[in-house]
Structure 1
Amino acid sequence: MTTDDFTIRSIEALCYRYPLATPVVTSFGRMLNRPAVFIRAVDEDGVEGWGEAWSNFPAPGAEHRARLVNEVLAPGLVGRKFDHPAQAFDILTRGTEVLALQCGEHGPFAQAISGIDLALWDLFARRRHLPLWRLLGGRASTIKVYASGINPSGAAQTAEAALKRGHRALKLKVGFGADTDLANLAALRAIAGTRMLAADANQGWSVDQALEMLPRLAEFDLRWLEEPIRADRPREEWHKLRASAKMPIAAGENIASVEGFKQVLAEDVLGVVQPDIAKWGGLSACVGLAGDILKAGKTFCPHYLGGGIGLLASAHLLAGIAGDGWLEVDTNDNPLRDLLCGPVASVKNGTIDLGEGPGLDLSPDLATIVNYRVL
């Protein structure tokens, strides 16, 4: 088991849902439960790796992505030998391009492939007896984190609870009307003091609405304003926002192509770039992308809002590329995150430490979440 070559014995997606007492709210919709699609890959030597596919929307989408893995993608990899996870990623991506085009499901295919890719990288690192962050080139296992997913209702209480849990940086959801947004920002700035505070509009404004809000946001010393307008709006609208903004603009979770990222890295528009490794690209595409973000003089902050395995993989990527960004850690109730994110659950003075265990250094105790399994 000392060679890089590995033969895939099995790949399986497991689908879970955790019902919420309090919905997670965004400017475009509400989450009434928290889904998760975890993916387990095992090689012929019995080495195991874990990944996760993005599955938040639409509401029934998690089961669909799990079946894509189990019935469409996994059969094409089982029994095949690889010496690097990127080989499997390329085979799956190229092999499903026409199928994704035929059914108009580029997103679900990309997300399912990303989850498999993360599992194979974990397996690959375990075979080499290295922590994933070190395999990716990292020099230190400690990274900064921030508390996100702070809803408009009860924002101050959520922020205070996050600080008590060890957080030192916060991100508020906005896009719920100027009065609500500004009152919440004022409350969080008072709570955070001079510490990092960001805001996320979740594509909730038109360019005119965003331009109207920008001067009103200036007083809060935001570290960034995330997705103020739709990700697919013309580039001239983004340039117009950049010219008026007193804070960096952030985006990236809804960019899903090499060409799309090349465009934003060539522009002086985004100061913070946020690819989501469970949504597009996995590690095979996003390791190089993260390095390109840093080379472009921008801040790399991996986007994440899901279960614990994808969150932990995102942490390893941030540590691996040795950037100065923050890892997004959702504050909302979710045992599918908290029970499977390893050291990310232990925030101390705004940081976490990933340690020296092999791969993700996680052996999920599925018995703790068995009641939430749906597929």
Structure 2
Amino acid sequence: MPLKIAFKPYTFLFKKEAGTSRGVMTERKSWMIRITDEEQPGLEGYGECAPLPGLSFDDVPDFETQLLSVCELFNELDLEVFPFNLSIILEQIVPEHLPSARFGIETALLDYMNGGKRIIYSNTFSTAGKGILMNGLIWMGSYDDMLAQVEQKLAQGYSTLKMKVGAIDFEQELRILASIRERFSKEEITLRVDANGAFSPADVDEKLARLAAFDLHSIEQPIKAGQHDLMANVCKSSPVPIALDEELIGIFDYREKFALLKKIQPPYIILKPGLLGGFQHTKEWIEIANRLNIGWWITSALESNIGLNAIAQFTAGFSNELPQGLGTGQLYHNNFESPLDIRNGHLFYNPNAKWELPRF
């Protein structure tokens, strides 16, 4: 019997406001994907399409209409899925300009092919209890609020902290970093910062010079994406290693990916499968980065536990010892209950725990 696909929108509510240089979020909308086969009742594959407002290539007003068209085409074609034709289905059914849809449908198909048990990739994380090292995320807020977040993450056992910068007063952000470094050396606590493109061409050099005083591991996207010549110069001269993030969004052609990284030569890139078009596109970025000796790590993009689980299992398939950005599962009041668990700065998957699945 051919596969059938359906979707349903969900709105997830943040426990507290999530502040970045692009603004403050209080809720997050996603579209859950379910793939079924009438001849195999109970076998269901789930995925998540979650365009990130203000950032995703497919953050468009008619996203749901376009997703509906994709699903209608899928259901018309009497599809069956196997490892050898998965990439063909994705390429033929889901347009590249809908990267979050491709991610969600790819995840649901992988889940279905693996028995509908939310084991998207079988590895030591998903089946043997091995944890994934993570950074603890410090959201933008008031000075006191950000300091409180730092204390909370340290108490939770994180050895790498990632702080959003670029929205509150820069001097206050420096004070927060200084307060951490006064207590912990770079050997004790690794510090990352994420500017989300907030620095201007006029002040980026000065701000990077001042940030260098705090022995930072890296800074994500110091200037807005699309300024390739400037970014190449910044990467070459910055005393703080640069990690590209938004710069990668919207690039789907392999040759364009290679040309971008070869031109800019960043020390690191940050990979968000939900924004890049799924796991196959993410694998291409990783392959290119490895060829060019560029470091990388993977982060979620505020998906619910459905999407986060898939990203974590994918991440665990690589031998990457850098802390990953997968600590977003506890952000929402109404997230789906899942086997994902954070302990001592690591993400774990408990195969004995039960899933709360989306209702269709």
Taking structure 1 as the reference length, the TM-score comes to: 0.79
Contact 1:251–1:274 (CA under 8 A) maintained in structure 2: yes
Q: Partners of 1:132 and 1:336 in 2: how far apart?
A: 25
Structure 2 gap segments, 5+ residues each: none
Match of 1:353 in 2: 348
Deviation at 1:206, TM superposition (A): 1.5
Instruction: Give, in angstroms, the shift of residue 133 of structure 1.
Output: 4.5
1:224 shift after superposition: 1.0
**1:238 maps to 2:227:** no
Asked if structure 2 preserves the Cα contact closer than 8 Å seen for 1:277 and 1:283, the reply is: yes
Aligned to 1:178: 170
5 Å-filtered alignment, 1:1-375, equals 8-20=2-14, 22-44=16-38, 45-46=40-41, 47-58=43-54, 64-69=62-67, 71-78=68-75, 79-84=78-83, 85-93=86-94, 96=95, 106=97, 109-126=98-115, 132-134=121-123, 141-153=130-142, 154-176=145-167, 177-190=169-182, 193=185, 194-233=188-227, 235-255=228-248, 256-257=250-251, 258=253, 259-267=255-263, 269-306=265-302, 307-328=304-325, 329-330=327-328, 333-337=331-335, 339-340=336-337, 342-343=339-340, 346-354=341-349, 363-366=355-358
Task: Tell me which moved more, 145-154 or 328-337.
Answer: 328-337
| CA distance 1:196–1:12, change in 2 (3 Å) | farther
- Matched-pair contact (CA < 8 Å) for 2:177–2:214: yes
Q: CA deviation at 1:324?
A: 2.1
Question: Which deviates the most, 18-27 or 243-252?
Answer: 18-27
Q: CA deviation at 1:218?
A: 0.7
CA shift digits 1:264-286 (9 cap, x unpaired): 43246322211211122211222
Counterpart CA distance in 2 for 1:240 and 1:313 is 36
**Distance change >3 Å, CA 228–CA 324, structure 1 → 2:** same
Q: Does the aligned pair in 2 maintain the 1:274–1:302 contact within 8 Å?
A: yes
The verdict on how the C-alpha distance between 1:243 and 1:291 changes in structure 2, with shifts beyond 3 A counting, is closer
Q: In 2, Cα distance between the equivalents of 1:76 and 1:308?
A: 27
- SS of the equivalent of 1:330 reads coil
**What is the CA–CA distance in structure 2 between the aligned matches of 1:30 and 1:263, rounded to whole Å?**
34
Deviation per CA, 1:174-199, whole angstroms, max 9, x where unpaired?
01332122122223445665222100
Q: Is the 8 A contact 2:160 2:191 kept in 1?
A: yes
Deviation at 1:21, TM superposition (A): 6.5
Shift of 1:227: 0.6
Identity among equivalent positions (%) equals: 21
CA distance in structure 1 between the partners assigned to 2:290 and 2:155 by the alignment: 32
**Farther-moved stretch of structure 1 (181-190 vs 171-180):** 181-190
Bigger shift: residues 257-266 or 163-172:
257-266
**Consecutive unaligned residues in structure 1, runs of 5 or more:** 1-6, 98-105, 368-374
Seen in structure 2, the aligned counterparts of structure 1 residues 326 and 227 have a Cα distance that, compared at 3 Å, is: same
- The AA in structure 2 aligned to 1:30 is V
Residue deviations 1:132-166 (CA, integer Å, cap 9, x gap)? 14399x99943211122522321111122123334
The question of whether the paired residues in 1 share the 8 Å contact of 2:32 and 2:358 is answered with no
TM-score by length of 2: 0.82
Which amino acid in structure 1 is aligned with residue 123 of structure 2? R
Cα offsets for 1:201-258 (capped at 9, x unmatched): 011111222111011011111111001011111x221122112222221123452223
Higher helix share: 1
AA paired with 1:195?
A: I
Q: How many residues align?
A: 342
After superposition, the CA RMSD in angstroms is 3.4
Q: 1:364, 1:332 → 2: CA distance?
A: 15
Alpha-carbon distance, 1:172 to partner: 0.5
Q: In structure 2, what residue type is equivalent to 1:92?
A: I
Counterpart-to-counterpart distance in 1, 2:286 and 2:129: 16
How far, CA to CA, are the matches of 1:289 and 1:135 in structure 2? Answer: 23
